[in-house]
């Protein structure tokens, strides 16, 4: 329920409330989620004319990110570190309190967190059709760099081709959750080697560990002999970032030294098998369109664009991505 006020952000006597930006505490989690969902529901209602029943299709963005990065979560903004890359989002302010510089204070707090952790680049995604969002983040030095396509593939039994038959023998997949603890540590090192080869300083190890620790989904390791040549962090519905009925690919990468399209085909095939066995209706896979080779593999496999976002960067303004790299990543 929205607060009743004479003017947005003022109490019934017209007095400005005391605004305090602070880090999230455990008791705040449900309220932070409510603020984010109310804020985005209001935005979508203005854009589409109808208020969505579920803003993100059941996907959740607060609890597990707070556990993973408690010092980067503010009321109500979330920031995480992927090694030397700092990512912001979501950032939300209740409609009645917007346009009062609260959002700017939240972003400034996130950037302070990035500075404390020596982030080389800050990044986010927002809506390309929203001048308000583009202008807002532009004030902080974030520049639009390219589109991110959130794609999906509806699963039909007739379309499923088991991953084991999609390429020549020699490749296999293993679930991170099936490993012994000592081997998990080794696997994290191998995952880091891949991401660091793609973008120096990139590290998604905490994403792998939080997915495993909270059973949000799992991480598939693509193996060629004893070598890990790729991996895919995925979420399944529940208290994760996966919408209802969908397997959601959070981050996928093929080692740039092994970047053959058939390796990405194999890994996507394995994910589709898991989704089909779990009776999910679709697989969702985000792709930064600068990674054109990865985008083309998705097209070949029958993925369609659900909606698009725009990636914005602040800091090191060179394009570190190689269009030939096989990466699926979502900065939301």
pLDDT at 263: 97
Work out the number of other CB atoms within 10 angstroms of the CB of residue 314.
20
pLDDT at 159: 56
pLDDT at 170: 87
CA 199, CA 253: separation in Å to the nearest integer?
A: 11
Peptide bond into 76 cis (omega under 30): yes
CA 169, CA 288: separation in Å to the nearest integer?
A: 30
CA 86, CA 57: separation in Å to the nearest integer?
A: 26
- Read out DSSP for 172-188? EEEEGGGS-HHHHHHHH
Interval 271-287 mean pLDDT:
96
Q: Which of 161-175, 244-258, 301-315 has the lowest mean pLDDT?
A: 161-175
pLDDT at 246: 97
Interval 162-180 mean pLDDT:
77
Strand pairing of 77-82 and 171-175?
unpaired
Helix axes 181-198, 205-213, angle to 10 degrees: 140
pLDDT at 75: 83
CA 322, CA 326: separation in Å to the nearest integer?
A: 9
pLDDT in tens, 199-208: 999 999 999 9
pLDDT in tens, 148-158: 999 999 997 54
pLDDT in tens, 213-233: 999 999 999 999 889 999 999
CA 240, CA 265: separation in Å to the nearest integer?
A: 25
Reply yes or no on whether the pLDDT at 4 is more than 50: no
pLDDT at 12: 47
Q: What pLDDT band is residue 99 in, cutting at 50, 70 and 90?
A: confident
Closest CA to 285 of 241, 317, 315, 320: 241
Reply yes or no on whether the pLDDT at 11 is more than 50: no
Instruction: Report the mean per-residue pLDDT for the chain.
Output: 88
pLDDT in tens, 108-129: 999 999 999 999 999 999 999 9
């Amino acid at each position: 329920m929205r607060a009743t006020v004479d003017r947005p952000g003022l109490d019934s006597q017209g007095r400005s409330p005391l605004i305090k930006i602070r880090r999230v505490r455990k008791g705040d989690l449900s309220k932070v989620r409510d603020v984010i969902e109310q804020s985005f529901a209001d935005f979508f209602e203005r854009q589409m004319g109808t208020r969505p029943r579920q803003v993100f299709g059941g996907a959740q963005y607060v609890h597990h990110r707070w556990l993973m990065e408690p010092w980067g979560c503010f009321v109500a903004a979330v920031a995480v570190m992927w090694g030397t890359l700092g990512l912001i989002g979501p950032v939300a302010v209740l409609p009645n309190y917007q346009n009062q510089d609260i959002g700017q204070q939240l972003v400034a707090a996130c950037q302070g967190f990035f500075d404390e952790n020596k982030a080389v680049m800050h990044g986010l995604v927002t809506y390309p059709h929203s001048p308000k969002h583009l202008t807002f983040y532009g004030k902080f030095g974030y520049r639009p760099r390219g589109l991110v396509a959130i794609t999906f593939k509806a699963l039909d039994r007739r379309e499923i081709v088991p991953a084991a038959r999609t390429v020549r023998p020699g490749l296999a997949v293993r679930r991170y959750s099936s490993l012994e603890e000592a081997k998990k540590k080794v696997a994290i090192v191998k995952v880091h080697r891949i991401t660091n080869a793609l973008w120096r300083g990139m590290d998604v190890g905490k994403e792998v560990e939080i997915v495993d620790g909270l059973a949000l989904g799992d991480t598939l390791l693509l193996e060629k002999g004893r070598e890990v040549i790729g991996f895919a962090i995925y979420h399944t519905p529940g208290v994760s970032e996966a919408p209802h009925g969908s397997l959601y690919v959070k981050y996928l990468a093929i080692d740039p030294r092994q970047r053959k399209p058939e390796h990405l085909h194999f890994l996507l095939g394995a994910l589709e098998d898991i989704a089909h066995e779990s009776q999910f209706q679709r697989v969702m896979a985000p792709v930064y369109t600068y990674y054109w080779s990865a985008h083309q593999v998705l097209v070949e496999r029958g993925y369609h664009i659900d909606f698009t976002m725009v990636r914005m960067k602040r800091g090191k303004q060179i394009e570190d991505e190689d269009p030939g790299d096989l990466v699926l990543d979502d900065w939301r």
